[in-house]
């Protein structure tokens, strides 16, 4: 196979797994990102004929345009992921950056852009069967979600570049800096918040499985113009996930029971204070998105991905937790 694929955000959690998924399936990859040293680390596993690096920023139209030259496909994993910051930062990276990627793809006649979006279906009620049609386009829980929704709308609203979209939920695995590390720190400091008497379920996806879904979206004719929820398809109670995680780490999970509505209101108040004080370098100790993640069950249907992509998760959450714990304890 001699097809060429550009991967943005190539050294991030999802991007690095996507690079491996593509190379292992015979593609030539151009790994794109801003940090040359991190990009070089990706090349250590493969010979130079299978991967090349391209240092650049997709917020710079000229750099992403140059990177797309000679490519057959583009997989857009790059994004501003942090949970707190100025709205302008998210719009610049996640919205205007995606616009730049689209323009570059159009100029170079890319066969298909596979865009990484977000499920963004958080609500103040439990939902145990969220389909692709249930996307909440008015969600404004934080700037990240808002920017990802706008970016997806950009992709779906144009007809110059063929596209497919995945909406991965809670990507985790070795290299995760946003989910499991937060759980570990919270457990150490105050205990894991328990809402609804511990009956809340979480729905996650291993990075390897999200990368598989990206490749399938690139390859399958059925995926053209479609969006897919992507999870591991094995929702777990928060307590079940925590017990498994901390047992693997050789310690114990601690819990603190909390009422949802007052805590959600407190988080909203803290966010307002932080914004009024223009504190953007550090998130409030409590945010609405974190309260919703731990306080309401949001389970996503992956039946469409199974049916149209032939998607089946290849790494279980239990396997991931074991590997993550081993890597964490190695330091």
What mean pLDDT value characterizes the chain? 94
CA 97, distance to chain mean position in Å, is: 16
In what order do the strands lie in the sheet containing 112-116? 51-55, 28-33, 4-8, 73-76, 112-116, 163-168, 227-230
Decide if 95 contacts 144 (C-beta within 8 A): no
Residue 261 per-residue DSSP state: H
CA-CA-CA-CA torsion sign (116, 327, 185, 194): positive
Q: What is the pLDDT of residue 2?
A: 81
Residue in the block written with tokens 């009024």: 276
Q: Is residue 320 helix, strand or coil?
A: helix
Nearest to 287 by CA among 144, 89, 191, 94: 144
* Angstrom distance (rounded) from CA 207 to CA 29: 18
- Give the Cα-Cα-Cα angle 189, 194, 198 (nearest 5 degrees): 140
Q: Which residues of the chain have pLDDT under 50?
A: none
pLDDT at 137: 82
What's the predicted TM-score (pTM) here? 0.95
> Do the beta carbons of residue 257 and residue 147 sit within 8 Å?
no
Q: pLDDT tens across 282-318, in order?
A: 999 989 998 998 999 999 999 999 999 999 999 999 9
Residues 221 and 111: their CA atoms lie apart, in Å, by 11
Rounded to 5 degrees, φ, ψ at 62 are -70, -40
For the chain, domains (ranges, CATH) are: 4-239+287-330 (3.40.50.720)
CB 228 within 8 A of CB 163: no
């Amino acid at each position: 196979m001699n097809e060429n694929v550009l991967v943005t955000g190539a050294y991030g959690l999802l991007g690095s797994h996507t690079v491996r998924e593509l190379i292992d399936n015979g593609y030539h990859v151009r790994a794109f990102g801003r940090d040359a040293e991190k990009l070089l680390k990706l090349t250590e596993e493969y010979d130079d004929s299978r991967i090349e690096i391209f240092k650049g920023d997709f917020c710079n139209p000229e750099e992403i345009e140059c990177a797309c030259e000679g490519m057959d496909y583009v997989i857009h994993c790059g994004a501003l992921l942090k949970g707190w910051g100025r709205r302008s930062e998210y719009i610049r990276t996640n919205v205007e950056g995606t616009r730049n990627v689209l323009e570059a793809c159009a100029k170079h006649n890319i066969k298909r852009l596979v865009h990484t979006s977000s499920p963004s279906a958080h609500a103040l009620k439990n939902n145990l069967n969220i389909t692709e049609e249930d996307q909440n386009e008015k969600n404004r829980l934080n700037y990240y979600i808002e920017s990802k929704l706008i970016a997806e709308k950009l992709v779906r609203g144009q007809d110059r570049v063929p596209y497919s979209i995945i909406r991965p939920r809670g990507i985790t695995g070795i290299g995760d800096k946003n989910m499991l590390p937060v759980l570990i720190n919270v457990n150490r400091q105050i205990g894991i918040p328990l809402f609804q008497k511990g009956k809340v379920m979480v729905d996650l996806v291993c990075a390897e499985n999200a990368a598989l879904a990206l490749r399938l979206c690139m390859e399958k004719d059925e995926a053209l113009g479609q969006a897919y929820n992507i999870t591991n398809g094995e929702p777990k109670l928060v307590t079940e996930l925590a017990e498994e995680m901390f047992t693997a780490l050789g310690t114990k999970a601690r819990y603190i029971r909390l009422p949802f509505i007052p805590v959600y209101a407190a988080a909203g108040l803290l966010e307002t204070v932080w914004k009024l004080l223009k504190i953007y370098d550090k998130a409030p100790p409590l945010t609405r998105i974190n309260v919703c993640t731990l306080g309401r069950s949001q389970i996503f249907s992956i039946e469409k991905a199974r049916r149209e992509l032939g998607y089946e998760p290849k790494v279980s959450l239990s396997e991931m937790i074991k590997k993550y714990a081993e890597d964490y304890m190695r330091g």
